[in-house]
Structures are given as C-alpha cells and as structure tokens.
Structure 1
Amino acid sequence: MTNDTATHTLQMSRFLPATPDEVFDAYTDAEKQKIWFSILDTEPGIVEIEVDLRVGGQQTAAWGASRDELFRETQIFRVIDRPNRLVTTSTGSTPDGQTMTTEIEVTFAEQDGGTLMSVVQTGFPTAELRDYFSTYAWVGAFDRIEAYLTRE
C-alpha cells in the first residue's frame, strides 16, 4: 500500500482466490454486491444497489444500519474492460450529508491461480480521508469480497 501525501492518492491491492472474471463480477454485479456488502455483518442492515454496467452508466448504492443512517455512493462508469479494468467517478455521502467525489481505477490481474485486485483512488480532499479509506473502507471491501468468493 502506498499513499501519496501530495495528491492524496490511495493505492492498494489484495490477492483474491478466484479468477479475474469471478472477481470482476463480484465487484460489479448488483445481486452479488448485495450479498458481500453484508456478508460479515452480525446484525442485518440495509443494502440497496442498482448497476447499469456500461460506459456512461452508473451504480447507485445505499447501505447502513437503518434508514436514518445510510451511506450513499453513485459511481459513473468511465472505462469498462471486463475482466481487466474498471474506471469510475465516485460521489459518496455520509448520513450527516458530507460528500466527496473521487476517481477510482480497479484492475483485476491473473496471478498464481487467483486475482490481484488493485485500486488507485485519487481526489481525496485530505490525507485523513485517504487514510480512512486505506485502513477501513477498502480493507473492509476486500475482506467482504474475499468472504463472498470463498463462502461454502
């Protein structure tokens, strides 16, 4: 993991035990996302996701413990090179109304019988927000996707 403090860029990767096609689909398919978004939760929450997977299309997601505590994210698909690369513009908001827009590039590279999923996210307004995403948000997403891919 590398963090560029000058531009508040996040770069991180995780090896996942599945093919690039399987990882790409888990990351982009709404029904699969609805499963992995909450796969590690001890209490049921709200997960609503819609995906229009085409260049110019968008993914909308809302999740949280209750209707009053929803996080929201809209991603506009800029580049789709299935199953190798995905580039989006992401606008997210917290339950208290704070918003942030970033650019996200995700690559899916075959490696040792699995996939190296790598993320480069740019445009964080502060190093603190970037660090939160690198230590919590993306680690949680990787953990959940891996749990989804390895579930029995």
Structure 2
Amino acid sequence: MTNETDTISLTMSRQLPAKPEQVFDAYTDAEKQKIWFSILDEEPGIVEIDVDLRVGGQQTAVWGPNRDELFTETQVFREIDRPHRLVTTSTGSTPDGQTMTTDVVVTFEANDGGTLMTAIQTGFPDLQTRDFFNQYAWVGAFDRIEAYLSR
C-alpha cells in the first residue's frame, strides 16, 4: 500500500567540476564532508560526521551553530555502487525535535569533463518541506560540494 507522502518528491541536479569518483568520495567520505559542510560559513560551527560506508552501514552527521542548535541526519546505506549510485534512507531531526524520514537516490554521471550529480528524494511529509529542500537544502549542499571540488 502506498501512502500519499511517497509521491511528494524532488529531483535536483548539478554539474560539478570533477570526475565521478572524486564527487562520490566528496559526498561520502567523513573527512571531506567535514570540510565542505562548513566551507561557505563565515562563522565556524559544529560539524561531526561518522561514516560506515557499506550496505547496512550508516552515516551520522551532526551540525549547527552551537551545541544548543544542532541538526542531526542519519543515513542508512541501502545500495552502494561507487562511483555511480548511492541509495539511502535518511532520518533527520531539527533542534526543536521534529523528525522526518525520506529515501534518497544520488547518481554520479560522467558528463562534459565533469560529473552530473543528481539527487532524488522521496517521502516528504508535505509540499512546504519538499520546497525547503528544493530551494535551500540541496542547493546549499551542491554549492558547498562545488566549492570544495573547485578549491
């Protein structure tokens, strides 16, 4: 049985200036993520990331401006095909305790000397949340990864 939140999804893509292996590793390697997560921030905040990159393993990211305002995201790896495809179930929580679980498929396709990275995220609870991820969350992630790969 399918519920209506399964149909609230988004697809975002960005052309990035690196080979698929480099983009995949930037997206999945904890030490690289710690750099790009805060690369565009004027004030250093808190970024803690732990990755067990295997099917059934998980990545936990905790970030925010200070200890009282932390966001947490835990992704369970369901499929890993380096450097082409990554499938996860993502559960995020906000500092005020709201949580959301979605499914995320990220692909890394060699394109025009770089990589077309595409994220498909499904299972949003409502259109407003999907629109936030469409306008801010994924745009911010792509901006940061691009800045990291361009430096």
Say whether the fold is shared (TM-score over 0.5): yes
Residue 6 of structure 1, CA deviation = 8.3
The reply on whether 1:132 has 2:139 as its aligned counterpart is: no
The reply on whether 1:148 has 2:143 as its aligned counterpart is: no
Residues 1-150 of structure 1: matches in 2 within 5 Å?
Answer: 7-150=7-150
Q: Kindly provide the amino acid, as one letter, of the partner of residue 118 in structure 1.
A: T
Q: How many residues align?
A: 147
Q: Kindly provide the amino acid, as one letter, of the partner of residue 110 in structure 2.
A: E
User: What is the aligned-residue identity percentage?
Assistant: 77
Q: Which 5+ residue runs of structure 2 have no aligned equivalent?
A: none
Q: Which 5+ residue runs of structure 1 have no aligned equivalent?
A: none
Distance (whole Å) between structure 2 residues aligned to residue 71 and residue 149 of structure 1: 24
Q: Kindly provide the amino acid, as one letter, of the partner of residue 93 in structure 2.
A: S
Distance (whole Å) between structure 2 residues aligned to residue 118 and residue 98 of structure 1: 26
Displaced runs of 4 or more, over 3 A: none
Distance (whole Å) between structure 2 residues aligned to residue 95 and residue 80 of structure 1: 30
Q: Kindly provide the amino acid, as one letter, of the partner of residue 149 in structure 2.
A: L
CA RMSD after TM alignment: 1.0
Worse-superposed segment, 65-74 or 6-15: 6-15
Distance (whole Å) between structure 1 residues aligned to residue 9 and residue 100 of structure 2: 14
Q: Secondary structure at the match of 2:34?
A: helix
Residue 108 of structure 1, CA deviation = 0.0
Residue 7 of structure 1, CA deviation = 1.6
Using structure 1 for the length normalisation, give the TM-score.
Answer: 0.95
Distance (whole Å) between structure 1 residues aligned to residue 121 and residue 135 of structure 2: 13
Residue 129 of structure 1, CA deviation = 0.2
Distance (whole Å) between structure 2 residues aligned to residue 129 and residue 80 of structure 1: 27
Over residues 40-87 of structure 1, what are the superposed CA-to-partner deviations in whole Å (9 max), with x where a residue is unaligned? 000000000000000000000000000000000000000000000000
Distance (whole Å) between structure 2 residues aligned to residue 54 and residue 6 of structure 1: 25
Is 2:11–2:120's contact at 8 Å kept on the other side of the alignment?
yes
Is 2:6–2:123's contact at 8 Å kept on the other side of the alignment?
no
Over residues 65-124 of structure 1, what are the superposed CA-to-partner deviations in whole Å (9 max), with x where a residue is unaligned? 000000000000000000000000000000000000000000000000000000100000
Q: Kindly provide the amino acid, as one letter, of the partner of residue 103 in structure 1.
A: D
